[in-house]
Each structure stands twice: as C-alpha cells, then as structure tokens.
C-alpha cells in the first residue's frame, strides 16, 4: 500500500510528522515525540526537533535535537536492560525508537542528587519540603543532598506537571503501593548507574526523571533516559571550585534554555508571551545538545542529513515494523 506522510519542517529541522503505517491504530503528538500505536503491541516514537520548556512547546525547533535525544536514550536503554526491564525493541533510524506498547503510569519518577532547578526554586522561596520529602537547612544552590531524593510528579496532559507526594499517589489511585515500591527501586538503581557512568565521563548526573508502564503485568522503563531533556549534568572537574565561589555551575542540560526564557519574562504562566529564539541562540542550543551527546556517550556525533528525511524515516520504520512479530 502507499504510505502517505506529511512533514512540516524548517530547512534544517524536523518539526512534526504525520505517517500512516500498516497496523496503525492511533497517533499522538507529544511535546517532543510523535507516537504511533501499532496494533496495541508496539509504539513507534519519532523524536522531532521540537523543544519544550515549562511544559510549553517553543516556537522554533532545534536542528539535530531529536537525533541526539533518540540516540542517547537508545544508548542507555541498551546499557541498562539487564538492570531494569525496559520497553526498547529497536531503533531503526537515528530519529526513531520502537518499543513495547505499555499502559503508562500517570506519574513521572523524578530523582535529585543535588539542589538544582525546580528544587532550588522551591528552596529559595522558603520551602523545606518537596513532594513530602524534607530538604535540610543550610544548603545553597547546587549543593548535594545527603542522599538522592525522589520527587514524583503527576503527568499532565496539558500545562505543567504537578509535584505530588507518595501518599497523594496512593490516595488518587495512580499507582498501587506494591508497584510504587518497585518504581522507587528501579529509579534508585537507574540513577546510581547513571551517576557512576557520568562520573567516568567527567560529569555529575544532578537529577533526572524516568517514566514507567506495564505490559502483561510487568513494569517496564519507557521513553527516554539520561538525555538532556530529562536530565541535568554538571562538569565534575570544576564543580568544587565553582561551588566554593558560589557561582553558577557549568552544566550540560536544558536549564540554560529555561534561564534564557526566564530572563525574557517567560515561565509558562498564563498571559506571558513566548519569546522567539534568534538563529545564534538556536545554533548554541544545537551545539550544547551535540556536546552532551559526545561527552556522555564518548562517541562522535554523526550528523544525519535533512535532505529527504521524510523518506528516510518512513523507509527505515516500515522495514522495522515488517520484522516485528
């Protein structure tokens, strides 16, 4: 059959897709990924170059961002498959991952080793608990916690995800207590692995989030893992000296995009206008994403051409679907 597809892209960025695959039952466009349900057995996720912050998709896409996210996630899903079961089936294209269809938990498992980002903003405002977890007095921005803390959020279909504590998850019936204990265990194991791996690469894994789902009664790690969209990294070699001087840490993450938006009076609040990146800032974001890919994986990033990207993604995905059982 003829596979119809449309793509709306900048000259050098993949903004969105709209494919029709054999066995396709539904399609969903997330903040960053375009998701295709194949016969309720598999999900095809196309990583676009869209970028979001404060739970808002920003007006301009970032070249190579989708490829970076997809390939980092595939790298770590492969490395951790014997540690925690995950959904990965294949990554047939630099921008595509195929995974098992799961019933997702409506909770994201956020784990933090350092007082940074959202946790710091809460702390600076005077709060000493986050998601029901106590934070000690006397810390400054980017200090380590005595031990990593888990600060889950409710996944919102629209708008901001919301902090929630463990008891709130049970009260709302989002996850059973038995399953939640497994999610916590998997989260700590993955974070410990990611932290050790980052250390070998000269980085500090500051915080990250994981998503899980269930298939045939088994809990599986889903979606991305240890990418710059889901994680924050500091450079290890300068961490102590910068912290001693109470300066901003050198980091590889999306936080610098959030800071730029804050400086331009945007935090995703009602009534705020979304500022538009200029080309120089877009190029900077691209270079940061590629830098993180190379730093965290130890591999040289191979830029894929945007010429005929539609045909490439379509062809590779169709071939992979044909091989699924």
Write a three-state SS string for 124-186: HCCCCEECCEECCCCCCCCCEEEEEEECCEECCCCCCCEECCHHHHHHCCCCCHHHHHHHHHH
Average pLDDT over residues 255-277: 92
Number of domains in the chain: 2
Do 31 and 73 sit in the same domain of this protein?
yes
- Supply the pTM of this predicted model: 0.89
**CATH number, domain at 24?**
3.30.200.20
Q: How far apart are CA 74 and CA 77, in angstroms?
A: 5
Tokens of 321: 């679907």
Give the torsion through C-alpha atoms of 80, 81, 85, 86, to 10 deg.
Answer: 90
Bridge partners, residue 220, by sequence: 213
Do 107 and 196 sit in the same domain of this protein?
yes
Do 155 and 241 sit in the same domain of this protein?
yes
Do 126 and 155 sit in the same domain of this protein?
yes
Which pLDDT value is given to residue 198? 96
> Is residue 27 scored above 60 in pLDDT?
yes
Is the separation of the CB atoms in 72 and 208 below 8 Å? no
Bridge partners, residue 53, by sequence: 56
- Residue 18 makes CB contacts below 8 A (sequence gap 6+) with 5, 6, 7, 27, 34
In a domain, 154, yes or no: yes
> Is residue 288 scored above 60 in pLDDT?
yes
252: confidence class by pLDDT, cuts 50, 70, 90: confident
Do 195 and 252 sit in the same domain of this protein?
yes
């Amino acid at each position: 059959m003829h596979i119809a597809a449309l793509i709306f892209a900048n000259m050098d960025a993949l903004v969105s897709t709209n494919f029709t695959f054999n066995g396709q039952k539904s399609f969903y466009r997330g903040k960053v990924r375009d998701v295709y349900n194949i016969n309720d057995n598999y999900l095809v996720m196309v990583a676009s170059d869209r970028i979001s912050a404060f739970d808002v998709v920003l007006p301009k896409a970032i070249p190579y961002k989708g490829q970076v996210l997809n390939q980092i996630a595939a790298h770590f899903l492969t490395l951790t498959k014997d540690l925690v079961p995950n959904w990965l089936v294949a990554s047939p294209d630099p921008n595509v991952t195929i995974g098992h269809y799961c019933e997702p938990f409506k909770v994201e498992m956020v784990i933090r080793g350092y007082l940074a980002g959202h946790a710091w903003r809460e702390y600076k405002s005077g709060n000493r608990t986050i998601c029901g977890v106590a934070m000690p007095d006397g810390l400054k921005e980017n200090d380590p916690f005595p031990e990593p803390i888990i600060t889950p959020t409710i996944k919102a279909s629209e708008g901001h995800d919301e902090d929630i504590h463990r008891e709130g998850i049970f009260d709302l019936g989002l996850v059973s207590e038995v399953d939640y204990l497994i999610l916590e265990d998997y989260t700590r194991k993955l974070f410990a692995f990611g932290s050790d791996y980052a250390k070998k690469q000269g980085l500090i894994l500051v915080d990250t989030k994981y998503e899980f789902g269930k298939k045939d009664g088994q809990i599986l790690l889903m979606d991305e893992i240890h990418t710059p969209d889901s994680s924050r990294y500091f450079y290890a070699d300068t961490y102590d000296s910068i912290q001693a001087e109470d300066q901003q840490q050198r980091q590889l993450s999306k936080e610098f995009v959030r800071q730029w938006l804050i400086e331009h009076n945007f935090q995703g609040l009602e009534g705020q206008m979304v500022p538009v990146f200029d080309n120089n800032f877009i190029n900077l974001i691209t270079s940061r994403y590629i830098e993180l890919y190379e730093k965290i994986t130890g591999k040289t990033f191979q830029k894929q051409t945007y010429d005929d990207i539609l045909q490439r993604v379509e062809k590779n995905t169709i071939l992979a679907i044909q091989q699924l059982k």
